[in-house]
Structure 1
Amino acid sequence: MNVTSMVVLQLILAVAVLSSASFRQQDLYPVVRTQYGRVKGMRFDLSNDSLKPVVKFLGIPYGTKPERFRYADRPSSWTGVKNSTVPGPSCPQRVEFADIDKSPASVRRTLNTMRPFLTKMSEDCLYLNVYYPANAQGDPNNLPVMVYVHGGYYAQGAGTMYDGSALASEGDVVVVTFNFRIGILGFLSTGENNAPGNYGLSDQLLALEWVKKNIKFFNGDPDRITVFGENTGAASITLLTLSPKSTGLFKSAIVQSGSSLATWGMTQEPWHYATVLAHKVDCCTSNFSRMVECLRRKPLDVLLSAYVQPAGPQYFSSFGPVVDGDIVPDTPLNLMSKPSDVLRQFQDIGLLMGVNEDEGYAYIEGYKNIDKGVSREDFTAAILDFVNKVFPYRENEIQDAISFIYTNWGEKESNATRRAGLIRMFTEQQVGVPLVSVANYHARVSPSTRTFLYTFNHKPQYSPFPDWVGSVQNEELPFVFGAPLGGGGVFAQTNFTKSEAMLSTAIITYWTNFAKTGDPNAPRKQKTRFIHMRPNKYEDLVWNNYTIADQDYMYLGMKPRVRQGYRSQRVAFWTDLIPKLIRPQAVLKGDSSSDLIDLCKGLDVGRGILLKDGLTSLDKTVPTQADRSLPSTCVPVDKTLPTGLTRPKVDVPPNWFDSVNNNKQERRSYSTELSVVIAVGTSLFFVNIVVFAVCYHRKDKKRQHCPSVEGKYRLKDLVSHELESKTCAKTRNNPQMV
């Protein structure tokens, strides 16, 4: 071989090596062109050899840096290639790491896992992350898309905390996580145009719009988008399903342990919390517009250091979604029950929803000596505190009813049984019943069989929580994201067993099937993929859709099964009985016989409890724009609020009113008002005597025609009679109901 031939051969080899290196570089760091510019991602192998490699793009902007208390805009275009191999900053939030050792176990666990993801925070935080399998089965260029909305009580969290790699790889889907504004920056509202609120919801809509328009560049199918989330992320999703602004942005929703119908799902009277915040940071002015401008100019750390919370922070949200007439046009209850375009949209969206076994543990874990149980006195005090904050108008009746239904009458009462009763109460009232109510509304109106319900009942082997509690809040999340299979993110340091890897695979199969077809049973069948678990207990199970008649739900755990009627007796207690105790009695509008008979029935408490009139919740008045356009005194007194609305109790220093209204000449005099109150009260007393006499006379006349219950029921007897009647009726219709 001559010199010339050798040179040519070397040149050919050099070109081949360079081409191979270039191809390898493109394979490891793929570049994708979006509508706004090119982004560079990264391909990587997972620690589990059975999982396919994944390509991820981190920190892609889906919106511009938002102005405070205003909606964000779409992102600006850029030139060149944006490096999307590192996540963007998290949205600002108040996180107390200093006293972490004094916090309850679940709080310590959450803060410790969150810490690495909150080292960088900025108001320029609207970034998302995309994960897709490198070698997907089926059509690799048209994969279903799952968009995760993180929880955190509208105050904490970030999309970057959740690594979608294992879920994308095992389920053959595209996974998207994203940050959105939370807390004061995400939800402060005055009820006026100067600060309408719902900026966090607006960010979620903006992220979904980006996904709809750009996910095809990441092998995703824009016509098969499913949103899923837990806690307040789930509550946000139920609002998105009812928002006219979300039309066409997603096809299905998975709602985990949250609902906008919960007491904490939305904020009532947001202008009150805005004025409390303004007082704390020295922004009190004569009207809301100037107050909001002052808040916009305040340094970020000043706003975050101002702690504003309702009297029952575990039951309410001081800065959360509000009815704004735009993104949230009405209360969720009205939107789910009244015919409209929004209701038709709600009908067309598939819903898969569920609750964990012991969500209520988070409400009691901070109690002193909780490991020893709950004494009778503490049990009564806990229920009284709950009732005073959530049902402040009929405390005695409701407290007695709750104490009765959550006392374990079937065995010897003890500190342990009372503790279990409180966990059941908080699980059901705060999470389970609001979620089941949404399922009922959806199953009632949905034209197709696309409503599915589950309970998650597995306590992880290495759970940090006590032995006496079951699956607590958020413990299903690592199984959804595939942490037992080798997933990372916030669950990277958690240990799992081989059996839990099987459970995670089963759950991923259900979740991704639902994203693909709207049916958790298809197209992928549950199969035995683990030699040590043969056969797979999920193989022969069919997850039936949830209907009003059958109320089927999937019991997810190591011993899965299909059950009927999620805690049906106590659900009936909250949806049928409690509304009758808290509903204001009808006002006599005339002297007709029917009006008088209705009033008599209303005054008969026992018979009023047993009468069923169908409503499951009290309607809340939605203020009009005219109602809300009121000047701000920066003092949360009733004269600054729209009529027809009530205020939750707020923890305000006792001397606050005096410090703000330091002009004695401007202070109100209560002597005249007190006289009026006494006069009105006396008049009502005599009216009640007259009404009682008339009612007694009519009841005596009608006794021979209207058979009544002999003897006087105590309240707990009435509760027991009502619930036993409902349960027996349902059992007769459906003997398998649990």
Structure 2
Amino acid sequence: MLVCAVLAFTAVPAQAGTSEARQAAVPAVPAVPAVPAVHTRAGAVRGTAGEGYRTFDGIPYAAPPVGSLRWTPPHPALPWRGVRDATRPADPCPQPAGEIPGGSTTEDCLYLNVTTPDAARPDRPRPVIVWVHGGGFTTGAGSSYDAHRLATRGNVVVVTLNYRLGALGFLAHRGLPGSGTFGLADQQAALRWVRANIGAFGGDRHNVTLAGESAGGFSVCAQLASPTATGLFDRAIIESGPCTGRADRPFAPSALSLKAADATGTKLAKAVGCGGARHVVACLRRVSAARLLAAQDTSQQPAYATGLLPRDPNTALARGAVHHVPVLIGSNHDEGNGWAAAIIQAGTRITPANWPRTVAGFLPDPAQAPLVARTYPVTETNGGPVLGAVIGDSNYTCPTLRTGTFLAAQAPVWRYEFADEHAPPLTPAPTPFPLGAPHAGELTYLFDLGGRPRAMTPAQHRLANTMINYWSAFARTGNPNTPATPHTPIWPAGYVQSLAPDHTGPTNTTAAAHHCTLWNALP
């Protein structure tokens, strides 16, 4: 079962009660004379101005997937008359409470947000970064990621988006077209919108980088392996979402088979009273989103052996059956510490005596436990961080290195490891041990999560600027290096760029430090 990392920040509040009527009846636009309207192919939008940037929130890229459109591939958004209010984000897609306070049950959610530096018509079109949010394919929203620092310092256009989540995004059922991949199809629809419309916002439709973290990173992997994504993006950034995840890795599988997804769909249908219906999908379409959320598995992944995703991304990568685009890929030094802290807080006590038995529960094969326990020795005081290292090394760091090796056989690859041992926490809640650079810890260096900047030291601010320089340079040219940043070598040099405050530079010790020889040898 996938244990998803729920980011502990609050999304920008959205307006409740949205429906299909939103597309036909455009609300009045507040008087904002400083922000001229931008004309998309479906109609004009007017956003808001910030210091050196403009944002356009809640732009529809597909029709609301409601009623008979629930569990269908995304349909085109309806055009509108007049100027559409793009000053507030749309509702997040249906999800349980977590990152989104109170959760959401609004299925009219296929909207995106555009952040662009001030000048609408720059001398030359700007690179575009399309950001896919994480959240275990069950939570999250594009509006949670305030991208103004990335846009202004990087001089790039940033698009964040919502996509269908949970059972509404990844239900599989025999005979249902698009089974198991509706959320991925939404992402492709958003990319098609970008190709068609981003020029109106000063973006370069011929220079689009697809980027994401965690489930967003796994999504990028899926799109790299998807034949229906051909031509939709030109570069890729994968943060903490290795393409070599497996279904038997509890914290980071990237996809599951259609057969397994069908079984999950059958279980859901029975749970909501549709298992014995003559037309199961028609019955499911009458079930409320709230009831589906209550009945769905906590583990959700896209399905392969489908039209959109013919192969498991892991298999596609090994065979070279992926889009050959430059890739920037990395993970965080202490990926597993957040999960380990939650496990400790839930009452698990780790001692030298029970460590082999405890670690067996986190491995696909319990017979591996003695070897892993010897490689990661536990004392009376370090159980939490050691468990975090096992989770992070096996599910993220080593699979990320392995992913980089496969990708480098096809196209240029640059690798990083975010290593700020005092990264600003995503939540003020106390933890049983310092988390270091945990899963999602790098996000605050690129975005103001939930619209709120985190407190940083001057050295951390410099690191944030360096990272934005790398990310935006990569989006611009396919190479993260600039004259103003420490040089990062391309993959064949065998190095990883370590990102830490005032200590950014290449290292070739990452694999050894995370015991990747062990993890690569285990079946």
Kept in 1: contact 2:422–2:436 (CA 8 A) = no
Given residue 198 of structure 1, which amino acid in structure 2 is its aligned partner? T
Q: 1:230 touches 1:474 (CA, 8 Å); kept in 2?
A: yes
Offset of residue 566 of structure 1:
2.1
TM-superposed deviation, 1:42: 1.9
Q: Matched residues in 1 for 2:148 and 2:130: separation?
A: 13
Which amino acid in structure 2 is aligned with residue 335 of structure 1? A
Aligned ranges for residues 20-39 of structure 1 at < 5 Å? 28-39=34-45
Matching of residue 557 in structure 1 with residue 500 in structure 2:
yes
- Cα 1:252/1:512, change in 2 over 3 Å: same
Matches within 5 A, 1:718-729: none
- In structure 2, runs of 5+ residues without a counterpart are 1-30, 247-252
Aligned with residue 325 of structure 1, among 292, 306, 316: 306
| Aligned-pair CA distance for 1:74 | 1.2
* Cα separation, 2, equivalents of 1:324 and 1:226: 26
Where do 1:91-102 residues align within 5 Å?
91-95=93-97
Q: Which residue of 2 aligns with 1:21?
A: none
Contact 2:42 2:80 in 1 (8 A): yes
Q: Quick one: which amino acid aligns to residue 517 of structure 1?
A: T
Instruction: Kindly state the Cα deviation for residue 78 of structure 1 after the two structures are TM-superposed.
Output: 1.5
Give TM-score scaled by structure 2 length.
Answer: 0.86
Please tell me whether the aligned partners of residues 212 and 220 of structure 2 are also in contact (alpha carbons under 8 angstroms): yes
Contact 2:277-2:283 within 8 A present in 1 as well = no
Please show how residues 465-484 of structure 1 align to structure 2 within 5 Å.
465=431, 468-481=434-447, 483=448
Distance 2:127 2:380 in 1: 49
- Matched AA of 1:566: T
What is the Cα deviation at residue 363 of structure 1?
2.6
Q: What letter corresponds to residue 214 of structure 2 in structure 1?
A: N
Offset at 1:156? Answer: 0.2
Change in CA separation of 1:459 and 1:58 when aligned onto 2, cut-off 3 Å: same
Indicate whether 1:545 and 2:490 are aligned: yes
1:427 maps to a residue whose letter is: G
TM, length-normalised to structure 1: 0.61
* Residue 266 (structure 1) aligns with: 255
Partner residue in 2 for 1:208: 191
Paired residues of 1:174 and 1:219 also in contact (CA < 8 A): yes
Q: Mapping of 1:621-660 within 5 angstroms?
A: none
Contact 2:64 2:107 in 1 (8 A): yes
In the alignment, does 2:118 pair up with 1:134? yes
Shift of the alpha carbon at 1:493?
Answer: 5.8
- 1:208 is displaced (CA, Å) by 0.4
Residue 305, structure 1, aligned to residue 271, structure 2: no
Matches within 5 A, 1:307-456: 307-309=296-298, 317=299, 319-338=300-319, 342-343=321-322, 345=323, 347=324, 349-368=325-344, 374-387=350-363, 390-391=364-365, 395-396=366-367, 398-407=368-377, 414-446=379-411, 450-456=412-418
Query: 1:570-604: per-residue Cα shift (whole Å, max 9, x none)?
Result: 212222x212xxxxxxxxxxxxxxxxxxxxxxxxx
Q: Give, as a single letter, the amino acid of the residue that structure 2 aligns with 1:472.
A: P
Partner Cα distance (1:258, 1:70) in 2: 26
Determine if contact 1:147/1:226 at 8 Å carries over to the other structure.
yes
CA distance 1:452–1:72, change in 2 (3 Å): same
Compute the displacement of 1:383 (Å): 1.5
Please give the per-residue CA displacement for 1:183-211, whole angstroms capped at 9, x wherever unaligned: 01000112533561210000000000000
Does structure 2 retain, via aligned residues, the 8 Å contact 1:186–1:200? yes
In structure 2, the partner of 1:65 is 64
* Aligned residue runs from structure 1 range 444-523, under 5 A: 444-446=409-411, 450-460=412-422, 462-463=424-425, 464=428, 465=431, 468-481=434-447, 483=448, 489-490=449-450, 492=452, 494-522=454-482
Q: Pick from 284, 287, 294: which aligns with 2:283?
A: 294
Amino acid at match of 1:39: V
Change (3 A) 1:470 1:370: farther
After TM superposition, give the deviation of residue 491 of structure 1 in Å: 5.2
> Secondary structure at the residue paired with 2:63?
coil
Q: Find the structure with the greater CA-based Rg.
A: 1
Comparing 329-338 with 471-480, greater Cα deviation is found at: 329-338
Q: 1:325 to 1:121 in 2, by over 3 A?
A: closer
Partners of 2:255 and 2:312 within 8 A in 1: no
CA distance in 1, matches of 2:159, 2:362: 38
1:196–1:324 contact (8 Å) kept in structure 2: no
Corresponding residue of 1:237: 220
Indicate conservation of the 8 Å contact 1:239/1:328, yes or no.
yes
Deviation digits for residues 483-513 of structure 1, max 9, x if unmatched? 4xxxxx5150632222221111111001000
1:9-54, Cα deviation, whole Å (9 max, x unpaired): xxxxxxxxxxxxxxxx775131111111111122222xxxxxxx11
> Aligned in 2, Cα 1:129/1:54: closer, same or farther, shift over 3 Å?
same
Q: Residue by residue, what CA displacement relative to the aligned partner does 1:183-240 show, whole Å, maximum 9, x if unpaired?
A: 0100011253356121000000000000011000000001111111100100000110
User: CA 1:414/1:164 → structure 2, altered by over 3 Å: closer, same or farther?
Assistant: same
How many residues align? The count is 477
SS at match of 1:367: helix
Q: 1:572 aligns with which of 513, 517, 523?
A: 517
CA contact (8 A) 1:364 1:370 kept: no
1:346-385 CA-to-partner distances (Å, cap 9, x unmatched) read x2x1110111111111332233468997212442232221
Residues 356 and 373 in structure 2, CA contact (< 8 A), matched pair in contact too: yes
Ranked by relative contact order (alpha carbons within 8 Å, sequence separation 6 or more), the top structure is 2
Amino acid at match of 1:248: G
Amino acid at match of 2:45: V
SS at match of 1:28: coil
- 1:30·1:43 contact (CA, 8 Å) conserved in 2? no
State the SS of the aligned residue for 2:256: coil
Letter in 2 for 1:434: P
The answer to whether residue 49 in structure 2 is matched with residue 43 in structure 1 is yes
**CA distance in 1 between partners of 2:32 and 2:129 (Å):** 26
Q: Distance in 2 between matches of 1:370 and 1:468?
A: 17
State whether structure 2 residue 19 is matched by structure 1 residue 54.
no
Q: Amino acid of the residue matched to residue 351 of structure 1?
A: V
Q: Aligned pair in 2 of structure 1 residues 493, 226: CA closer, same or farther (>3 Å)?
A: closer
Is the helix fraction higher in 1 or 2?
1
Identical-pair percentage: 29
Judged with a 3 Å threshold, the aligned counterparts in structure 2 of structure 1 residues 195 and 544 are, in CA distance, closer, same or farther, namely: closer
Query: Whose strand proportion is higher, 1 or 2?
Result: 2
Structure 1 runs not aligned, ≥5 long: 1-24, 46-52, 96-110, 310-316, 408-412, 484-488, 527-538, 580-738
CA distance in 1, matches of 2:396, 2:424: 25
- In the alignment, is the contact (CA less than 8 A) between 1:191 and 1:197 conserved in 2? no
Against the structure 1 CA distance between its residues 42 and 320, is the aligned structure 2 distance closer, same or farther, given a 3 Å change threshold? Answer: same
Aligned to 2:108: 124
* CA gap 1:226/1:238 in 2 versus in 1, 3 angstroms: same
| 1:555 partner amino acid | S
Residue identity in the other structure for 2:312:
T
1:615 corresponds to: none
Give the Cα separation in 2 of the matches to 1:218 and 1:71: 27
User: How far 1:415 sits from its partner (Å)?
Assistant: 2.4
| 1: CA distance, partners of 2:421 / 2:347 | 18
**Residue 277 (structure 1) aligned with residue 276 (structure 2):** no
